[in-house]
Amino acid sequence: MSASGDRAGEQPRAPRGPAGPIPAARAIDRLASSVREAAITAALAFGLFLPLIGFETVTNMRNEVTLKTRWPLLFAITAAVAIGRLAYMLTLGPALGRRRLRAAPAPSAWRARAGGLFVPFAIALVVLYPALVIVLNGSSGALKWIDNFGIQILIYVMLGWGLNIVVGLAGLLDLGYVAFYAVGAYSYALLAKTFGLAFWILLPLAGILASFWGILLGFPVLRLRGDYLAIVTLAFGEIIRIVLVNWVDLTNGYAGIGGIPRPTFFGIPFNAGDDGFAAVFGLEFSPLHRTIFLYYIILALALLTAYVTVRLRRLPVGRAWEALREDEIACRSLGINTTNTKLTAFAMGAMFAGFAGSFFAARQGFISPESFTFIESATILSIVVLGGMGSQIGVAIAAVIMIGGTEIMRELDFLKDIFGQTFDPTQYRMLFFGLAMVVIMVVRPRGLISRREPSVFLRERKTISADLVKEGRG
């Protein structure tokens, strides 16, 4: 019964009468409905933008707030929205509708082979990335590309992979993931400054401390599911941040912690002194050395995260996580201790956030609670969701698009030539972020890569369609 209902819903009927005899009338019909749709959209846009764009408060010379109107801009934007909607209704909309009706084509052999080569190719690319950038930009321009793009994206790839264990595999919605990132960062900063311990000792220690906090969070939320779990984890993230803000004796509050020791190259610091890296290796001093070193550290950490996750998925604990996401009651009936299984997922996810956090502190040299706000958790979670929950490659691609995309907005100076010198593309970063999310979710509702790869097979590896895979309810 439901199957026939679905089918009826999927096949949109022609607007009026049987198709065929009078195409001109149908075209006019479609045009009319598109115009109506565009008019409604324009009215909505007008209502929305009237207070946001139509009016502007300006403080004048005498420090009085005055109201200015911007009618031309408002009407221009409304018209742009209406025309955009009309164009969508006439061209893209019907095409998308037709595509949805077609059955998904079976992946061809060519695509399968390209998919197999994708991972080695991507790894080779990220390993050679610094050299590539130096060749293309020269050593002065390369710093920005390695630091702002390479390192920044890799941090988020690593965080995305860590959260992927909790959300994608175990199906536990965690909105406070940034708390563990903060624990890792502050662990490194405080222990390195107080006890003078080295980066390589503190890196595992920060991971252990973060996973300890992961277990601590895990206990109270074991009984919670779905939305309730999400709210408590959200609160946990805020608690950690507020403790960091208010425990001034330990964390120095909003002022943050500066002068955090930088990682050294097996004891050789990256400075211009006589025993610095450049002098020891007979090179000319350049800040690029440290940046490249940091790039390879975070690359190694991210690859470690990926490797461990891939292995875990094939081990009983990984299968138990996925089984937990599929059906918790069935897990209990099979003798799986769901408490331990959930706690290991929280601990594992938190550990990788702790690694990333201590790397972040070492790279920045300065940390403050500002770096660990809810928006960070939201960014990491959206990377996981957009990438396709459970898919490592999808998460990596999503991190490149979302973080690389927003970073590249800083570079688009040529837009100033189009929109005038006052135009600052950086300010549109969040708009781009939101737009990218909406587009991905419209085109691929279950994320970029939504198919599940089975962890083991008897005869042949068949990917599992996203429709069958559960999202988990906590």
Partner 1 sequence: MAVAGNTLLHVEHLTMRFGGLVAVDDLSFDVNEGEITALIGPNGAGKTTVFNCITGFYHPSEGRLGLRHGDAAAWDMLDALTDSGARYRSQRGGTLFLLERMPDYLITHQARVARTFQNIRLFPGMTVLENLLVAQHNRLMRASGYTLFGILGLSSYGAAERAAIDKARAWLERVGLLDRADDPAGELPYGAQRRLEIARAMCTDPVLLCLDEPAAGLNPRESAELNELLLSIRADRGTSVLLIEHDMSVVMEISDHVIVLDYGVKIADGPPRAVRDDAKVIAAYLGVADEEEVAEVEAEVG
- Residues near partner 1 (CB under 8 A) are 308, 311-312, 315-317, 319-320, 322-323, 326-327, 329-338, 344, 452, 454-462, 464-465, 468-470
Beta-strand relationship, 65-69 and 55-59: antiparallel
* Shortest distance in whole angstroms from residue 314 CB to partner 1: 8
* Shortest distance in whole angstroms from residue 213 CB to partner 1: 20
Nearer to partner 1, 85 or 446 (CB): 446
Nearer to partner 1, 260 or 320 (CB): 320
Nearer to partner 1, 188 or 321 (CB): 321
* Shortest distance in whole angstroms from residue 333 CB to partner 1: 5
Nearer to partner 1, 303 or 415 (CB): 303
Nearer to partner 1, 319 or 473 (CB): 319
Nearer to partner 1, 197 or 308 (CB): 308
Cα 395 to Cα 26, 392, 450, distances in angstroms: 44, 5, 11
Nearer to partner 1, 113 or 332 (CB): 332
Non-local (6+) Cβ contacts of 398 within 8 A are: 160, 382, 383, 384, 386, 387, 388, 440, 447, 448
* Shortest distance in whole angstroms from residue 472 CB to partner 1: 10
Place of tokens 């550990």: 351
Q: How many CA atoms lie within 13 A of 154 on its CB side?
A: 32
* Shortest distance in whole angstroms from residue 172 CB to partner 1: 16
Determine phi and psi for 271, rounding to 5 degrees: -140, 180
> HEC string of the chain?
CHHHHHHHHHCCCCCCCCCCCCHHHHHHHHHHHHHHHHHHHHHHHHHHHHHHHHEEEEECCCCCEEEEECHHHHHHHHHHHHHHHHHHHHHHHHHHHHHHHCCCCCCCHHHHHHHHHHHHHHHHHHHHHHHHHHHHHHHHHHHHHHHHHHHHHHHHHHHHHHHHHHHHHCCCCCCCCHHHHHHHHHHHHHHHHHHCCCHHHHHHHHHHHHHHHHHHHHHHHCCCCHHHHHHHHHHHHHHHHHHHHHCHHHHCHHHCECCCCCCCECCECCCCCCCCHHHHCCCCCCCHHHHHHHHHHHHHHHHHHHHHHHHHHHCHHHHHHHHHHHCHHHHHHCCCCHHHHHHHHHHHHHHHHHHHHHHHHHHHCCECHHHHCHHHHHHHHHHHHHHCCCCHHHHHHHHHHHHHHHHHHHHCCCHHHHHCCCCCHHHHHHHHHHHHHHHHHHHCCCCCCCCECCCCCCCCCCCECCCCCCCCCC
* Shortest distance in whole angstroms from residue 327 CB to partner 1: 5
* Shortest distance in whole angstroms from residue 389 CB to partner 1: 11
Q: How many CB atoms lie within 10 A of CB 422?
A: 6
Nearer to partner 1, 91 or 337 (CB): 337
* Shortest distance in whole angstroms from residue 316 CB to partner 1: 4
* Shortest distance in whole angstroms from residue 465 CB to partner 1: 7
* Shortest distance in whole angstroms from residue 228 CB to partner 1: 21
* Shortest distance in whole angstroms from residue 6 CB to partner 1: 16
* Shortest distance in whole angstroms from residue 326 CB to partner 1: 4
Nearer to partner 1, 172 or 244 (CB): 172
Nearer to partner 1, 35 or 303 (CB): 303
Decide: 386 and 437 in contact? Cβ < 8 Å. Answer: yes
Work out the widest C-alpha separation in the chain, in whole angstroms.
88
Nearer to partner 1, 66 or 337 (CB): 337
